[in-house]
Amino acid sequence: MDASAITVPFLGHSWKRVYWVDEPESAQHLPPVPMPASPAPAGAPPLFSGASRRADLVAAYPDLDALCDRLSFGWDMTLESLCSQSDWALLELARAAKPPRQARQADWSMATMSELVGDILITHHLPLRSELRRIDILIHQFCRRHPELAHFDLHGVYARLADGLNAHLDHEEGVVFPLGLAIERASRHPGQDVPASSAVTGAIRYMALGHQDAAQAIRRLLVVLRQVQMNTFDTDLGLISDALAAMLADLTQHEDKEDGILMPAVIFADELLRSRAAAPASTSHGSAG
């Protein structure tokens, strides 16, 4: 590991100060976050989309291999071609896939920001996007089978949750992570452009608000799901409930990395860069005083 790497000290006082800064501004002209090596290429649609292939699905959900054989889902086929006649096979795959196992705990105290961002993308963002798609299939098909329960608006509540979470991931991948990586680069290579402080604070604040919203939205959905379960019996409701519980557990770990490690690291590195930039002026003032 590079000796100049930014480590991740905990700076609670700085976090609190930055969190409440108003006037968020979006980051402009930052390069996109390079997606680390993974089974899915950068920008690929989530699993359980029409373009998903068997190899991609089985890599993320190994339990699906035997079912793919039974469904005659060939290695060179896409889900779109498999399900061209009916959604039945898609629903069977969504039912058979078990939620991803929770990530192992790791010591991130000496990690670089790029290592942490890479882990967040691979361990949390990609599986979360796929699970959002898988749960959507389960809920959509359940609602089609049970039009008498439409007044619970289960799919509407879920769609708002999924839209919010996907927008949150887009914000992190498009704004927060590039900002953090730009700050890390600037700390290693003096003279590089440093993002405006207001862009950093605004982006981080928006990310933190997204975490609060996500937890509330999942709890709201779980309440609606319980109400639906009290009115009918359908084994898919149990699968949906299990998937949401696993998602909530993963979100806790995911957000711990972002709120507890990444954000303090970005804030620390940002303040360090600005104090370095201000050093000549403050030194001269200090000697005069």
* Interatomic CA distance for residues 251 and 85, integer angstroms: 36
Considering the complex, state which of residue 89 and residue 214 has its C-beta at the smaller distance from Fe ion. Answer: 214
Nearest to 168 by CA among 127, 222, 128: 128
Identify which of residues 38 and 229 has a Cβ nearer to Fe ion in the complex.
38
Q: Least distance in Å: CB of 146 to Fe ion?
A: 33
**Residue 267: CB minimum distance to Fe ion, A:** 16
Minimum Å gap between C-beta 250 and Fe ion is: 10
Query: Do the beta carbons of residue 185 and residue 2 sit within 8 Å?
Result: no
Smallest distance, Fe ion to C-beta of residue 211, A: 6
Site residues (CB under 5 A) for Fe ion?
A: 172, 258
Considering the complex, state which of residue 131 and residue 172 has its C-beta at the smaller distance from Fe ion.
172
- Comparing CB distances to Fe ion, the nearer of 112 and 141 is 112
Q: Per residue, what are the HEC states of 228-254?
A: HHCCCCCHHHHHHHHHHHHHHHHHHHH
User: Smaller CB distance to Fe ion: residue 82 or 121?
Assistant: 121
Angle between helices 263-288 and 12-19 (to 10 degrees): 90
Helices 197-229, 154-171: crossing angle, 10 deg rounding: 160
Burial class (CB in 10 A: 0-12, 13-18, 19+), 266: buried
Q: CB of 254: closest distance to Fe ion in angstroms?
A: 6
Q: Are 62 and 93 in contact (CB under 8 A)?
A: no
